Amino acid sequence: MKRSSLCLFLFCALPLLSFADLVLMEKGQPKCTIILRKGAGPTEKHAAKELAHFLGKIANGKAPVIADTALKGTCPVYLELTDDEQVKEEGFKITANDNELRIAGREGVGVLYGVYKVLKEYGGIRWLFPGKDGEYYKVKPTIIAKNGTIIENPSFSHRDISRVCIYWNSPVMDTLDWGMRNNMRFQSRAEKISLKNLKAGREARAVKSQLGGHCFSPLLTYNPDIKAKDKKAYVQKMFKEHPEYFPLIRGKRVFTMDGGVNPQPCTTNADVIKIVANNAVKQFRNAQKPCILIFGNNDTTQWCQCANCLAVDPQAERDAGIISTRYWTFANAVLAEIKKQAPDFRFEGWTYQNYSRAPIGVKPDKRVEQIMVSNHRRCWKHPLDDKNCPTNKWYYDYNKEWNDTGVPFYSYDELSYAGYAFLPVARCWVDSLIYYKKYMPNYAGSHTEICCPDGIFPKRFHR
C-alpha cells in the first residue's frame, strides 16, 4: 500500500511504503529505547527528550528511556545523521522495520523535525498554539509505527516568524517549541542567543543567529568597547572628525546615529563602505553559527544628497522617486569587502520603502544568499495574481520582478499590525504560498509576525 503526504507550506514528502508494524508503546508501557549517537549535539538531545516525553504523555504512561543500547524487551529508536542524497537541508528520513526505527537528518534540526513527524503521524498529536494548553491529542495507550520509509524535505527554506511587541530578551521557549513542532525555523538576534539564560534553550531548538536589520548607521558606528552611556559622545566625535561619513541633507551634513528614523549615511564614501564591512565581519565572527546578516537601511526614506550619491541614481529611478540602484551599489560594495575577510559570510539583501523595486543600474551580487521582499501593504482580500485588484497588481509585478532576477527571495507578509491586530486572511495566505510555489521558482518562503503568549510585554500592552 502506498501512502503520501504533501504540505506546501513546510514540507513535501516522498511516498511511504507500509508492510508491517513496530510497537513503540503498548498499553501505556514503553516498548522502545531511544538511542543517541555518540557526540550528539544539543538539538539531537532535545529531540530525544521530546520523543520520550510525548510518547509517554500520549500513551498516558511511562516515557521511554534514553540510553546507549536498547533495554531488554524493547526495540531501538535511533536518532542519527545521514548523508543520503534524497535528504536535503533540514529534511529527514524515517525508516522502520520489524526490529527498529531510525530517525535521521542531515543535521540535528532534521532529526528534531523527524521526531515531530513520528509523534504527529503515529501519536496523532498536534500543537495548535504555544504552551501545554495548545497540545491536542487523544490518549493512545498503544502507539505503532508503520514499517517503511518516509523522506520529507522543506518546500520552502525560509519559515520564520518575528516575535514582536515583547521585550527583546524574553525567553519564549513555549513559542519556539510550538514553531519547531510545526516545522518552522526561527531566527533570533545574535546578542539574544548569546545570553547565558537563553543560549542553551535556543541551541536545542536550532534557532538561527541573525545580524543587521535596520543597520546602516549601527554598523558604521559600531564599537563593542564603547558602553551604551558613552555611545552618543563617541558618534559625535566621529561626526566632528569625519562629517563626510554622514548624510548631506539640504546642503548640510546631518548627525545620524541609529537605525531608526535617522537618514542613511553617505553610501558612496569609500571609508564608510570599509567600516560597515569590517564591523559586520566583527559581529559575524562573534555570533553563534549559523548566522546571516540582513542588510537593511535605517528605517526612513531619507538618503544622502551629496553629488556622488545622486550620481549613482539612474534618471528613470530619480524620476520615479526610487533609490534601488543606490541601495544595491552600496550592498554589493559592502559584500565585496566582507568576502575579502570572511568567505563564509552569509549576506541577505532587503527590498523596502523607496528601494523596493529591482534596480535599473546594477544587479545584485551573485553572492547574495537571498532577498527579503516587503509585502507590507499588499491586499489580503484578493489573490496575489488578481489583475482586477490595483494594489495586488503592483505587488504581483514587484514579486515577479524579483523572482526574475534569479536570486532566491522570501516575502515579509505583514498579516497584522505589529503582531497584535490580526486579520482573518489564512486562506488567502495559503493560496499565495501555493501560487508562489507553482509559478515563482526562486521563492524561498514567508516571514510574518506574532505576539508570543509567553513573552514579557511592556506595560503599554497590559490591557
Give the pLDDT confidence of 250-295 residue by residue, as tens digits: 999 999 999 988 999 999 999 999 999 999 999 999 888 889 999 9
Helix (H) / strand (E) containing 198: helix 196-204
Share of residues in the chain with pLDDT > 90 (%):
81
Residue type, 46: H
Half-sphere exposure of 44 (CA within 13 A, CB side): 23
Q: What is the pTM of this model?
A: 0.90
- Looking at 39-172, list the stretches that DSSP marks H as alpha helix, in order from N- to C-terminal side: 42-58, 108-123
Sign (positive/negative) of CA torsion 235, 240, 245, 251?
positive
pLDDT confidence of residue 199: 86
Q: Which of 97, 86, 85, 102 is nearest to 36 (CA)?
A: 102
C-alpha cell at position 26: 503498548
How confident is the model over 8-12, as a mean pLDDT? 50
What would the mean pLDDT of 42-64 be, rounded to a whole number? 98
How far apart, in whole angstroms, are the C-alpha atoms of residue 231 and residue 221? 9
pLDDT of the residue at 6: 36
- Band (pLDDT 50/70/90 cuts) for residue 48 is very high
Question: In this structure, what C-alpha cell is assigned to residue 106?
Answer: 542531515
pLDDT of 246 higher than 50: yes
- The Cα–Cα gap between 446 and 434 comes to 12
Confidence class for position 10, pLDDT limits 50, 70, 90: low
Annotate 386-428 with DSSP letters as a single string. -TT-HHHHHHHHHHHHHHTTTS-EEEE---SSTTSS--S-HHH
Poorest-pLDDT segment among 196-200, 207-211, 363-367, 376-380: 196-200
Q: In the chain, what percentage of residues exceed pLDDT 70?
A: 93
Cell numbers at 314, concatenated: 539612474
Name which of 43-52, 245-254, 280-289 the model is least confident about: 280-289
In sequence order, what are the residues at sequence separation of 6 or more whose Cβ sits closer than 8 angstroms to the Cβ of residue 170? 163, 452, 454, 455, 456
Across residues 84-113, what is the average pLDDT? 97
* Contact of 80 with 112, CB cutoff 8 Å: no
**At 3, which amino acid appears?**
R
**CA 283 from centre of chain:** 19
Residues pairing with 443 in the sheet: 409
Reduce the DSSP state of residue 317 to 3 states and report it: helix
> What domains lie within the chain, and their CATH numbers?
2-154 (3.30.379.10), 158-461 (3.20.20)
Over range 375-393, report the average pLDDT: 93
Residue 395: pLDDT band (50, 70, 90) is very high
**pLDDT confidence of residue 195:** 74
pLDDT of residue 348 exceeding 50: yes
Contact 63, 70 (CB under 8 A): no
Asked whether the predicted pLDDT for residue 192 surpasses 80, the reply is: no
Run of H or E residues at 218: helix 216-220
Cα–Cα distance for residue pair 75/70, rounded to 1 Å: 6
Report pLDDT digits (tens) over 122-163: 999 999 999 999 999 999 999 999 999 999 999 999 999 888
User: Given 3-state DSSP classes, what are the helix, strand and coil percentages for the chain, each rounded to the nearest 5?
Assistant: 35, 25, 45
